[in-house]
Each structure stands twice: as C-alpha cells, then as structure tokens.
Structure 1
Amino acid sequence: MIGDRAHEPIDRHAVDAAEAGHSDAVAQPHTADEGGQMIAAEAAAARASTQENPLGKPGARFDRRSPFMIGMAGAAGVAVTFGAIQAVIAVAQVLVLITIALFLAIGLEPAVSWLVRPRFPRWAAVTAVAVVAMGLFAGFLAAAIPPLVTQGGALVHNAPDYVSHLSQRYPLIGMLNTRFHLQDRLQQGLGSDPAGLIGGVLGAGRLVFSIVSDTVIVAVLTCYFMANFPQVRTSFYRLFPRSRRPRAILIGDEIFVKVGGYIMGNLVISLITAVLTFVWLSIFGVPYPLLLAVLVAILDLLPVVGSSIAGIIVALVALTVSLPITVATVSFFIALRLVEDYLLVPRIIGRTVQVPAIVTVVSVLLGAALLGIVGALLAIPVAAALLLIIRETVLPSLDER
C-alpha cells in the first residue's frame, strides 16, 4: 500500500503551491512522497500567508468554559503552585541572604545619596560607603577577636568552677546544682573525650566556614544592590500601571526611608548600649567585659526581648563577683532599658518608624517563628511598611464604601 501510494499521480499545481509556502530552510527537498493530504495542507498554508499576516490569521479561540479547558487550567495551576512552593523551599537560605543584603543596601542608601548630592558619581559614593563599612567591621574584628577568644576560652574553662563557687555562696544555686547536677553536666560537656573533641572541632569549623561564606555573599550582594539601587527602584515601580505609578513612588520611597532609618538607628543604639555596658562592667570588675558587651550589642538588635535576655546573662556572670554588684548591674540594665526606650529610640528611630507597641510584639513573634533571628530583626521595618500601605491604600478604599 505504501509503495502504491508513493506512485499515485500527484497534481503538479498543488506541489508548486505547496513549495511556494514551504520554508527553504526546513525539510528540503519538497517532494510528492509526503502524501496528498500533506501537500494540500501546505498549499493551504501558502494561500493563508499574506503580506499583512505572514503566518496566517489566528484561528478561533479555544472554549475556555469547556470542561477540558477548566480541568487543564486547574491542574496547571496546582502544578505551578506546588512547583513554586518547592522552589522557594529549596532556595530558602539563599533568599534569606538576598533579603538581608537588600535591607542593608536600603539602610546604607541615605549615606550613599548624601554623598551623591554634592556631585559625587554614584560608583564613588558606593565605594566610599562600602570601604568605610568594611573597614569599621574589619577593624572591630581585628581588635575584638583576640580578647573575645581569650575571654571565651577562659569562660568555658572556668564554667564548672563558677558553678561550684556560686553553689557554695548562694543556697538556691546550690540546691539547683544538687538537684540537676549542673557542675557534672558542664564537666561532661566540656570534657576531653577525643571523639567528642574531634566532632566539636569539625562542627565548629563548618560553622565558621558557613558564617564567613554567608558574610561574604551578603557583603557582595549589598554592594551590588547599592550600586544598582536606582535601576532596582525604577524596575520595581515599572511594575505598577502608569496611572498608579506616581502614588506608588510616593509610598515606596516613604517605605525605603522607614526601613533605612530603622536599620541604621538600630545599629547605632546597639553600639551605644555595648559601649555603656563595657564601661560599667570594667568599672565594677565583672569578668569578661568585652565578651559580654559584644553579646549585649548582638542581643540588643532583637526588639522587645533582646536587651532583657542580655541583662539576665550579664547579671548571672556578675554573681561571681558579689551580690551587691549583681543588684547594681540589674539596676543598670533596667535604667539602660528605660533610657533606650524613652530617649534613644524616640530620638533616633521614633521619628522615622512609628509602630504601635502591640504591633511590635506581634510582628517580632511572627518574624521569629518564620525566619528565626533574621525574621525578628526585620519584623519591625516590615510591619511599618505594611502599616503604611494599609493606611494609605486599604483604609481609604474601605472608607469610601
């Protein structure tokens, strides 16, 4: 049958018409072996190709209400949504680093823009800000790491002795030590078991490598975001319709100001609290003042609970000196918290970020549950941005109904 069909007489006019619509770059040579049905279809394609519509006129649309199309659309939506969720989960760590870099770039943008205004090229302003920030960070590490390592090692080595000392001095701690065997647990945890020591060294090495690599990635991304911030901002606003774009620019720039003010203000406040803590501990002879001051600075970045946790830890260390010093240290941290809440935050952050107390607490809890420490750090600026959007867009729309 195939051989007979190949020798069937073919209309040469149809072949010529098919060749006229057949691309010179596809499936040459064009012969009668393709069959009469294909030649007729190619001839029809040649007739459909016109100067106005080189690829022919579009055919009738599919019936979107047909059960098949509805089922396909639903299945495709489920598949795309599932794939998107899996993709987000797979790159969650990278997305966190990108978010941190973006927030840091927004926080440093006021400094960059301040340098650009006196006719600085943007690349020079970004370079200056990046060099100063990295120089300060490197100088801090160079000055702080040796004493931190020394004091941290001494604290770990002397921890069991501190527990024994506190147990003898304070009956309550002695009772807890007797009931929960705190000293024995510390000695076992800090023992010299070779396998545990090797595992601890390897784990510490992996942790240090992860921290260093993540820091480098965030630093590089932050520089890229700062250098290309005008293009990023423009691309973001281009996503809005032209009629709504001016309003989006006003609201978006206000959000950038709030986020940048909060990040820079929070860093400044943490630095102030760390310096005051270091001075206080050094004056009263509390051991490991630099280590505890750095710990206070890091924990103070966490809203609501960070400074309280830092005060408890420092007070426990102050117990090794004397009870009056501990009481004085607790009083110092209460006073420091009051100064921070009613003097530093209103003057440094309050004018830029205005978030009610209940919203602050709820946002910090939700942020910590979603992204841990990073979520707690970014919770307040995100909450401030959402409040601004709700106040400027959602509430006016609801009031008009």
Structure 2
Amino acid sequence: MQDQDPHRRGALAGLLNSVAHRLRQPLPGAQPRLRFEMPPEEQNGAAAQGGTGTRFGDPGPRISAQHPLYVGFMGTVGVGLALLVYWIGSNTTQLLLWIVAALFIALGLDPVVRWLEGRKLPRAAGIVVAVATLALAVTGFFATLIPTIVQQVTQIVQEAPRWITEFINSDFFRSIDTQFGVRERITQELQKFVNDPEAMGGIFGGVVGFGSTLANGLFGTLIVLVLSLYFLAALPAMKKWGYRLAPRSRRPRVEALAEEITGSVGNYVIGQAVVALLNATFAFIVMSIVGVPFAVLLAFVVALLAFIPLVGGLIAGVIVSLIALTAGWQTAVVYAICYFAYLQFEAYFISPRIMQKAVAVPGAVAVISVIAGGSLLGVLGALIAIPTAAAILLLVKELFIVRQDKH
C-alpha cells in the first residue's frame, strides 16, 4: 500500500496539470482582444534606422521645398484642410461643447481620484467611489430640494393673478392708463393674438420646441456623464499619448506644463464648487432670517450663478434683492447689505484659501476672459474662461517669455 501511494499521488498531480493546461488554452475559434496600445519608445534613433539613413531605406531624392509646384500643392492642401476643419467644427458644435464639458468634469474629479490613489486604492475603485459619492450627493440634494421648489413654484403661479390684479388696481397703473390708454391697448393686442391662427400655431410650435429642447438637454446630460466617466478612466493614458506627440527632447518640459495646467484646472473646479456651495448656504440663511420669499428656490439659483466666476455672485445678489422688494424695501436693503458684504469677505478671505492651489489670473484678464467666454459659448464658456486664461498665461510665461529672454 505504501508503494502505491506515490504512484497515486503522481497520477493525480499529472491529471491536475493536464486540466490546468487545458484551462489555459483559448477556446477554439477565439481571438485575442485587440487593444490600441502605444508603440514602444525608441531609445536610439540611429540604431532603429539600421544605419540606412531612414527606417525603410533610402527614399531617394526629394523635391525642393521652394519649388513652385510643391508650394502650390501644399498651399492648396492647407486651405482644403482648413475648410474641412471649419466644416466639421460648424456641424458638430453641440458635440464639441459636450466633449469640453465632459473633459472639464473629468479634470475636476481627477484630483479626488488621485487622492484616493495615494491612499492605496486602485484607480478604478477610486473612480467608482468618487462618481458614486458625487451622484449620491447630487441625488440627495435634488431629492430634498425638488419638492420645496415645486411647492414654491406652484405658490408663485397661484399668487401671480393676485399680483397682477393688485398692480392693475394700483394708482400707478391707473395714472399710466389714463395718459396712454394701456388697458385698451393690451385688450386689443390680446384679441388680435387670439384671433390670429398663426399666433396660436406659434404657441403649439413653442410647446413642441420646448419639449424637443428638454429632450435634447436630457440626452446631452447623459452623453456628458458617460464621456466624463470615459475621460476620467482614460485620463492617464490620454496624457501619455499627448506627451508622445511632442519631440522626445521636449517631452519632460511638455509633461511638466501639462500636469501643472490640468492640476490647476481640477483644483479650480473643486474650489469653485465649494465657493458656490458656501455662497448659496449663506444666502439661504440670510433669506430665512430676514424673510425673503421662496428662499430655497432662490438659494438654488444663487448656487448655479455662483459657478460663474466674478460676475455670478453679483448677478445673484441683484436678482434676490429685487425679489426681496416684494416683502418690503427694508428686507431688500438688509439682505443686500449682508450678501454684498459676504461677497467682499469671500473675495478676500474664502476664495484665496480655497483657490490657493488653483489658477491665479489678474483681475482684468479674468473679467475680459469671462465676458469673452460667455459671448462665445454661453454659460459653459464663462465657466471655463478663467482656467483657459490661466493656461494661456502659463504657456506664455514658460515658453514665449523664456525664449525672448534668451535673445
């Protein structure tokens, strides 16, 4: 029996090895998954060329760059490519805006993911944690906010007829109506509008257009979220590919500049979100104390506007102060004093501490960039204006000025 045990153990080990070998073999007809991988970096250009002058041998004589045929051909190709790029850009404007927004969000979440990576958490798990936390926070925020907003919007709709009636019966409106016949003019325009079939068709078209705009907005939001996840997951690989496009002698410099720019953008997004949250919280507290109506709805508006740098808080303060006039001029004055005093405190104490690792842009450049970005791309342009201006200033300082100082 003792002699048979080693044989049995050997046979069992051989059987297990055979099964493991079969499991490691690919299934019949299966093909390996194709991956778009980066080509290996060449360490020695001369060795890679094999001593022939080029990688594929001697290409023979080349046409001179000053030859009229060469200049004309390349000029035609350049103009054609420029027109092609313009045509593609003009027909894919919405897609480009979605891509920019998704990249902006990915850069904003990247510092959080890298912080989690520094805590020995894999990047994939860090992305899941960061996105899940953000999704839960946004869901909880809207789940708490939406019922109150719906209630307050309903209240506004219910109170609107009473406000209109009080305005029509006011002495101010009566004096204007006596001088200019406003009531009669409004009645004529309403009758003309109701009896005009094109106007009624325009209302129906407006409703359909609003539904289409809402559907496009939801679809765009979904696309931006999906692209943000892809960009966030592939951001290190995207950076490596971008660095490989630069000449090898300049790659360390390009990498340092790119890391500084992307890091500043990410810190700016997070910092601006924190500043907007603090701004809206303070506004809600003051509105609740002084008795401004629709405090929750207005706090949500303040949070959205606070994302727009420099001018967003100012616009939010003016809007809320005007609405506070419905509760009395004393309420509006008290709120305006408190809120604009907070804006000064935020500008000198809160923002410098939160944004100390973000971008630093001169005030005049920041104002001009925000106005230009808003004119070109709307709210998205205003949001990305300051990081873009900071990146341009950094490139000018590190590339152009350094080169000029050498001459």
Q: Same fold (TM over 0.5)?
A: yes
1:240 to 242, 246, 271: 246
- Residue aligning to 1:102: 103
Whole-Å separation in 2 of the counterparts to 1:89 and 1:332: 46
TM-superposed CA distance for 1:109, in Å, is: 0.8
Whole-Å separation in 2 of the counterparts to 1:95 and 1:82: 17
Letter in 1 for 2:372: L
Letter in 1 for 2:346: E
Residues 302-335 of structure 1 deviation map (CA, whole Å, 9 limit, x = unaligned): 1221111111111111111111001111112211
TM-superposed CA distance for 1:165, in Å, is: 4.7
- Residue aligning to 1:333: 339
TM-superposed CA distance for 1:179, in Å, is: 7.5
- Residue aligning to 2:79: 78
Aligned ranges for residues 184-223 of structure 1 at < 5 Å?
A: 198-223=204-229
SS at match of 1:135: helix
1:148–1:291: 8 Å Cα contact kept in structure 2? yes
Q: Is 1:279 paired with 2:285? A: yes
- Residue aligning to 2:384: 378
CA 90–134 in structure 1, closer or farther in 2 if over 3 Å, else same: same
2:271–2:354: 8 Å Cα contact kept in structure 1? yes
CA 92–147 in structure 1, closer or farther in 2 if over 3 Å, else same: same
1:359–1:383: 8 Å Cα contact kept in structure 2? yes
TM-superposed CA distance for 1:166, in Å, is: 6.5
2:99–2:227: 8 Å Cα contact kept in structure 1? yes
Identify the range of structure 1 (195-204 vs 298-307) with the bigger mean alpha-carbon deviation: 195-204
CA 141–75 in structure 1, closer or farther in 2 if over 3 Å, else same: same
Residues 345-369 of structure 1 deviation map (CA, whole Å, 9 limit, x = unaligned): 1111144221110110111111112
Which structure has the larger Rg over C-alpha atoms?
1
TM-superposed CA distance for 1:85, in Å, is: 0.8
Whole-Å separation in 1 of the counterparts to 2:354 and 2:171: 41
1:151–1:291: 8 Å Cα contact kept in structure 2? yes
- Residue aligning to 2:53: none
Aligned ranges for residues 117-266 of structure 1 at < 5 Å?
A: 117-159=118-160, 161-162=162-163, 165=166, 198-266=204-272
CA RMSD of aligned residues (A): 3.2
Aligned ranges for residues 40-119 of structure 1 at < 5 Å?
A: 60-62=61-63, 64-119=65-120
Whole-Å separation in 2 of the counterparts to 1:291 and 1:87: 40
TM-superposed CA distance for 1:150, in Å, is: 2.9
TM-superposed CA distance for 1:197, in Å, is: 5.7
Moved over 3 A (4+): 55-69, 156-176, 178-185, 191-201
- Residue aligning to 2:319: 313
CA 179–234 in structure 1, closer or farther in 2 if over 3 Å, else same: farther
2:358 to 335, 352, 355: 352
Identify the range of structure 1 (290-299 vs 387-396) with the bigger mean alpha-carbon deviation: 387-396
CA 305–180 in structure 1, closer or farther in 2 if over 3 Å, else same: farther
TM-superposed CA distance for 1:167, in Å, is: 8.0
Whole-Å separation in 1 of the counterparts to 2:154 and 2:238: 45
TM-superposed CA distance for 1:93, in Å, is: 1.1
TM-score by structure 1 length?
Answer: 0.77
SS at match of 1:354: coil
TM-score by structure 2 length?
Answer: 0.76
Whole-Å separation in 1 of the counterparts to 2:259 and 2:328: 52
2:290–2:334: 8 Å Cα contact kept in structure 1? no
Residues 97-118 of structure 1 deviation map (CA, whole Å, 9 limit, x = unaligned): 1111111111111110111122
Which runs of 5 or more structure 1 residues have no equivalent in the other structure? Answer: 1-54
- Residue aligning to 2:38: none
Whole-Å separation in 2 of the counterparts to 1:180 and 1:329: 37
1:166–1:174: 8 Å Cα contact kept in structure 2? no
TM-superposed CA distance for 1:288, in Å, is: 1.1
Whole-Å separation in 2 of the counterparts to 1:72 and 1:282: 70
SS at match of 1:100: helix
Residues 189-211 of structure 1 deviation map (CA, whole Å, 9 limit, x = unaligned): xx999756644443332222122
State percent identity of aligned pairs.
36
TM-superposed CA distance for 1:173, in Å, is: 13
CA 169–133 in structure 1, closer or farther in 2 if over 3 Å, else same: farther
Q: Is 1:389 paired with 2:395? A: yes
CA 366–76 in structure 1, closer or farther in 2 if over 3 Å, else same: same
Whole-Å separation in 1 of the counterparts to 2:130 and 2:287: 33
Identify the range of structure 1 (142-151 vs 387-396) with the bigger mean alpha-carbon deviation: 142-151
Letter in 1 for 2:251: R
TM-superposed CA distance for 1:269, in Å, is: 0.8
Whole-Å separation in 2 of the counterparts to 1:270 and 1:396: 37
Whole-Å separation in 1 of the counterparts to 2:174 and 2:285: 28
- Residue aligning to 2:367: 361
1:237–1:248: 8 Å Cα contact kept in structure 2? yes
Whole-Å separation in 2 of the counterparts to 1:173 and 1:257: 61
Count of aligned positions: 344
Residues 174-201 of structure 1 deviation map (CA, whole Å, 9 limit, x = unaligned): 979x98969969x97xx99975664444
CA 230–264 in structure 1, closer or farther in 2 if over 3 Å, else same: same
